[in-house]
Amino acid sequence: MDGERFDAALRRAVGDGSRRGILRVGVGTLAASALGLVGLSAFEDAAAKHKHKKKKKKPSPPPAPQQCTADRPVICGDGCCGGSFPKCCDDPVETSGKLCAPSTATCCSVAEGGSWCGAGFHCCPPVSNRPAGYCCATGETCCASTADCPGVLVCPTGGGCCF
């Protein structure tokens, strides 16, 4: 576009080509820009108000209580006891902290190392060579050293049952 054609197009856009006309077009352009920005801002505000927030997920319900079957009716740790092992004893070595034992067994306390001793035995607390506790025959004495044994009986090195 050459200079004369540009000037002619500018005069048509401005109107009379006077300073007032140019000023009027400039003010009009400025007002239109301001209104456009205000309108855009109002549009953005309205859009922000109508955004949907993500719904929070509901926490999953707690697991259902453990169900044992009729042949293994006793809940024990993460399993069930029954049949020839119907007793549930504490056992810190097991991952669930529990262990099934025979009906004739004696459950040992955690202080005694947990687990169980069979019929004719009793629970003894942990000693250096038996850190999970142990069982001595009924009538025998549990010992950590010979000083724990009655009379002339001796305690095995590291502890055990007097012999």
Answer positive or negative: Cα dihedral of 107, 113, 118, 121. Answer: negative
Residue 80 lies in a domain: yes
pLDDT of residue 121: 97
Work out the percent of the chain whose per-residue pLDDT is above 90. Answer: 52
- Give me the domain span that covers residue 77: 69-119
pLDDT of residue 25: 55
Residue 51 lies in a domain: no
Question: How confident is residue 58, by pLDDT bands cut at 50, 70 and 90?
Answer: confident
pLDDT digit string, tens, across residues 75-89: 999 999 999 999 999
pLDDT digit string, tens, across residues 97-146: 999 999 999 999 999 999 999 999 999 999 998 989 999 999 999 999 99
Residue 79 lies in a domain: yes
pLDDT of residue 36: 53
Domains held by the chain: number: 1
Residue 11 lies in a domain: no
Is residue 89 within 8 A of residue 114, CB to CB? The reply is yes
Angle in degrees, CA 134, 115, 82, rounded to 5: 140
Residue 94 lies in a domain: yes
Strands (E), 21-127: 74-76, 79-81, 87-90, 98-101, 106-107, 116-117, 121-124
Residue 5 lies in a domain: no
CA distance 85 to 103: 6
pTM of the model: 0.57
Residue 6 lies in a domain: no
Give the strand pairing for 160-161 and 142-143.
Answer: antiparallel
Residue 47 lies in a domain: no
User: What mean pLDDT is predicted for residues 26-54?
Assistant: 56
